[in-house]
Structure 1
Amino acid sequence: EYMAIWLGITRVGGVVALLNTNLAGPALAHCINLAAPRHLIVAAELVERVTAVRPDLAGAPKIWVHGAGHDHYPRIDDEIERYGGDTRPEAERRAVTIDDRALYIYTSGTTGRSKAAKVSHARVMQWSHWFAGLMDVRSSDRMYNCLPMFHSVGGVLATGAVLAGGGSVVIREKFSARQFWSDVVDWDCTLFQYIGELCRYLLHTEPHPQETDHRIRMGCGNGLRPDVWNAFQERFAIPHILEFYAATEGNVSLVNVEGKPGAVGRIPPFLAHRFPATLVKYDADAGAPLRDARGRCVRCAPGEVGEAIGQLPEDQSNVGRRFEGYTNEEASEGKILRDVFEPGDSWFRTGDLMRRDEDGYFYFVDRIGDTFRWKGENVATSEVAEAICGFHGIKEASVYGVAIPGTDGRAGMATIVADDRRLDLAAFRAHLADRLPDHARPVFLRVRDDLAVTATFKHTKSALVREGYDPAAIGDALYFNDREREAFVRLDKALYERIQNGQFQRGLR
């Protein structure tokens, strides 16, 4: 009922905020208050979470329950039964235009508190029809969608594109690596929507008897890393991968229609005037794009890493290029870069670092909030994680920076999912030395059985950063990359105290 509810409400002029169903406590109250709703529709199994934060909600919205078991709130499903299914007369309907707001979709909150992005009917239609064309959706197509319905990819793009093309969508409430191929075969799916880590999880599962018995003709999604792409496509016999880059609120969209492994897209020269996106050099110390002597941003040359930005148009009729903003005006203004190449121009900041090769292909490098500096150099966590996961036996890796007393910047630390008893640390260290520059190799290593992720499979790093590398506070196996001994050595209390007291500086150089 989730999509039917928001489609119905937006059709008559209402605006719907798609809340993350995993939220609870202050985070849930924060997101509800951002939208300032007059009504809240809550699934029966989630009522307790809303009741717990009700005193913290501004505006006292009316709470409706969908489902049985909570008599102290009115049931929206019962109320709807009182009305007929006929189309309402034109005179009773509010006039809705393509520029009216349809949805609020929340940012993931991986680099700060979630923000509610404004999404117009025009944007919903653009996403749906654009990808219906890119995937060449037909009435015979079935999309397998196991991504969250409260995000733009799982809730609007995957569903809207296929419905707009006349196909069907198979919705699974939650991703299951064990059931994925059974579902795809049983429901005779021809398309599936992915997020990169979903593909990594499938690649690390045991062989499934139906993993190549499907009729899948295309996988569409974003975040499929180069170290997974070819192996995933070959093992599971996927004819075509349609990788793209976009953000719910952003105006920089890239599509890799050629299927070049690792690339997020390309802007052909003859279309550059239609998609004015570029990369500018980024100053990590200042936390902003680099400016030259004239105060202007500096474009990146091929192979250089920079922040992706997209020019904001004066003509707001160009849906794809405009920035509709957040509910918070200050947050909206913070995403706009002004006087970039000439006085008065304005560009949208994606907050993502990329590089472009000589052929014009763009490659995602890292989120700006995740990048850190060590030994005077920038360290892109996604590239380090990719190198780590290229070693046999490592299933996942989360990379971040940690502070060491007496040093500048942050030292790299990696938390990996692997079997500590089988991990060949000497071979792993040699593997990293072959693939990463000295400043990017992790100083600390933590081995555990799993990693916490968000609903869209992004690693939640805040707790890992907070816990650091103190063996007294961490029960997992910890190692220190000792440069003098040229080995990962077990990090115990004595070694930790030496590092904290600045007695191990030579081992860090």
Structure 2
Amino acid sequence: MNQTTQHDLIGIADVAAKIPAFISKVPNLLSGLKQAYLRTPNTPAGLGLAFERAVKRNPNGFALLFEDQKYTYTELNQWANQIGHYYLSLGAQKGDVIAVMIENRSELAATIIALAKIGVTAALVNTAQTGKVLTHSVNLVKPIALITGEECRAAVDEVRDTLDLPVDRFHWFADQATRQHPGRAPKGYINLAEAIDAFAKFNTPTTQSVKGKDGLFYIYTSGTTGLPKAVIFTNSRWTLAYGTYGHVLNLNPDDVMYVTLPLYHATGTVVCWCGVIAGASTLAIRRKFSTSAFWKDVQKFDASAIGYVGELCRYLMDAPPSGLEKGHRVKKMIGNGMRPNIWDKFKERFGIEEVLELYASSEGNVGFSNVFNFDNTVGFSPTPYAIIQFDKEKNEPVYDKKGRCLKVKKGDVGLLVGKITSRSPFDGYTDQEKNKSVILENVFKLGDRYFNTGDLVRDIGFRHAQFVDRLGDTFRWKGENVSTTEVENIVSEYSKISEAVVYGVEIPNTNGRAGMAAITLLTDIELNDQDCKDMAADFKKNLPAYAVPVFLRVQKQVETTGTFKYQKNKLKEQAFDPNKTDERILVLLPQTDAYCDLTADIYTGIQAYKYRF
């Protein structure tokens, strides 16, 4: 859990000291805020419109860099237009959904822009999904087509018969530079690079008809029922991020932002990319994050800004010093999850001047951004919110005698809730029951409504906060939200396991929480060495890498409450410390293919950061 000091608390004098450096950003920020807030649900808005404006501002400047590929704003716009015209010719209409499963590369960027321009909602499928989870994610949003890259085709082929799509709506991009070499489509797929070739390159006629209330994309987030939830991200919400985060970053056409975060997540495709489009700057992307290639790419692309999550920062800090980490143009970074204990060290080592840490969630209505460039904070929020007292044991807010919530004092930790208003609406999930479960009513007075973020934050003053922890049935690991129920379902399918309880535990020197499963075996069953290998293989096959449990605790029986809820608090407190239980604990060490018993020596090694999880 993050620690705070008196030094972290912010007052008027602290803000006043930041004003001189902030003034240079004001004109650009005011322009952004005008676009963000002077809008209605029926105002033309969104990524497509903003991108076309960027094309006019910087037609011959580079919009996108990937590997050795380079596309100017004009070229990327023409490519997107051809994709858009093609789908319009198939009868695609505003409000339709198309599922997109492509790794970070040029084809993904062009596709997202194209669908934004024609008002089709892009369902940005996590490229790590397979099997039942993938089927659920696609069918949930009722798409009219699916676009996949060759790199994801095997996962699609595996579940193709379970997808609710016409046989002629499976579209495909080769895993190469398809503008130059379209490739040859496998049987059962339409080669999208070839199909669009005959279509016009001028702007689609639909961009101005896309309104703020219209869906831009679905982003998938873990839920408590075990399968991903599809969160609708409207054009209005993207415009809000564009007008705030995008303009605070203050990029210009000479800037290049390097992003290794997956574009199926909001941090990459909303936060980072909106800053690039706001500045008519260049987006440089990599398929997947690589510690060893990071600073090489920064130099190659001449990057001046980077996108990050906390885990990425830790990996870079853990890497041995390199001459490439100095002498670059990077002075700004934007993202979330920077740990307070490395904040200053990171800035000093890599020459960073501005950390635009922020807080937001795909489904939420409250956001913070570090506009004043303070250290150790998710920043300032202009949106209406409250930080309320929360009882972790009862897992509910603290109420006064009148049944109203109580705000925390400055310096204290509480539950963050966002007030639902016309200017900060809650767009919600596809699941209406889920929507009801995250809305708190009559919080401070009769009739008010707040979105429950499920996050504990610290009030450090002047409408600034520090992120502390996440509540509920998800935890964060490797920069991803992990659904405990989804993992429980997969773990419980192993032949010798009757029941599993999954929770997150903290490992020293890492971000977030690693997965741990307390498992109960079938009667008179023991786990042998082959089981330890088979379980690891089974979990890796059926779960994304970040969701595979790092620890297993073998229990005789699962403890539950009187209402049959799992007793997770005790399990979390004992974590994987062998001194706190006499039950068997297994660990999946990095770069291994089997669980092994967690010995005293291994436990000591984990505490000493001998193993890099």
Give the alignment's TM-score, normalised by structure 1. Answer: 0.73
1:38 aligns with 2:198: no
| Counterpart in the other structure of 1:56 | 162
Q: 1:228 to 1:488 in 2, by over 3 A?
A: closer
Shift of 1:284: 3.0
Q: Is the 8 A contact 2:588 2:596 kept in 1?
A: no
Match of 1:147 among 236, 261, 266: 261
| Structure (1 or 2) with the greater helix fraction | 2
After the TM superposition, which residues 108-507 of structure 1 pair with which residues of structure 2 at under 5 Å, given as runs? 108=222, 112-267=226-381, 274-313=382-421, 315=422, 318=423, 321-357=424-460, 361-369=464-472, 385=507, 388-389=508-509, 398=514, 409-411=569-571, 412-413=573-574, 449-450=589-590, 474-479=595-600
Q: Is the 8 A contact 1:124 1:156 kept in 2?
A: yes
SS of residue matched to 1:9: helix
Q: 1:279 to 1:211 in 2, by over 3 A?
A: same
Q: Is the 8 A contact 1:3 1:155 kept in 2?
A: no
| Counterpart in the other structure of 1:76 | 192
Q: Is the 8 A contact 1:444 1:480 kept in 2?
A: no
SS of residue matched to 1:352: strand
Q: 1:42 to 1:306 in 2, by over 3 A?
A: same
SS of residue matched to 1:117: strand
Q: Is the 8 A contact 1:448 1:477 kept in 2?
A: no
SS of residue matched to 1:357: strand
How far apart, in 1, do the equivalents of 2:256 and 2:605 lie?
Answer: 51
One-letter amino acid of the counterpart of residue 118, structure 2: V
Percent identity over paired residues: 32
State the Cα RMSD in Å: 3.5
How far apart, in 1, do the equivalents of 2:383 and 2:239 lie?
Answer: 19
Q: Is the 8 A contact 2:150 2:173 kept in 1?
A: yes
Q: 1:111 to 1:216 in 2, by over 3 A?
A: farther
Q: Is the 8 A contact 1:415 1:448 kept in 2?
A: no
Shift of 1:488: 7.1
Q: Is the 8 A contact 1:44 1:70 kept in 2?
A: no
Q: Structure 2: 5+ residue runs without aligned partners?
A: 1-106, 175-183, 476-502, 519-552, 560-566, 607-613
Q: Is the 8 A contact 1:279 1:308 kept in 2?
A: yes
Q: C-alpha deviations, 1:175-206, integer Å up to 9, x for none? A: 00001001101211100000011000011111
Q: Is the 8 A contact 2:271 2:335 kept in 1?
A: no
Q: Is the 8 A contact 1:263 1:362 kept in 2?
A: yes
How far apart, in 1, do the equivalents of 2:605 and 2:266 lie?
Answer: 44
Shift of 1:157: 2.2
Matched residue count: 416
Select the structure with the greater relative contact order (CA < 8 A; seq sep ≥ 6).
Answer: 2
One-letter amino acid of the counterpart of residue 65, structure 1: W
Pick which of 341-350 and 255-264 moved more.
Answer: 255-264
SS of residue matched to 1:341: coil
Shift of 1:444: 9.9
Q: Structure 1: 5+ residue runs without aligned partners?
A: 268-273, 373-379, 417-424, 430-438, 453-472, 482-486, 491-509
Q: C-alpha deviations, 1:395-430, integer Å up to 9, x for none? A: 9973769687798741435569xxxxxxxx9xxx9x
How far apart, in 2, do the equivalents of 1:227 and 1:447 lie?
Answer: 26
Q: Is the 8 A contact 2:587 2:598 kept in 1?
A: yes
| Counterpart in the other structure of 2:108 | 2
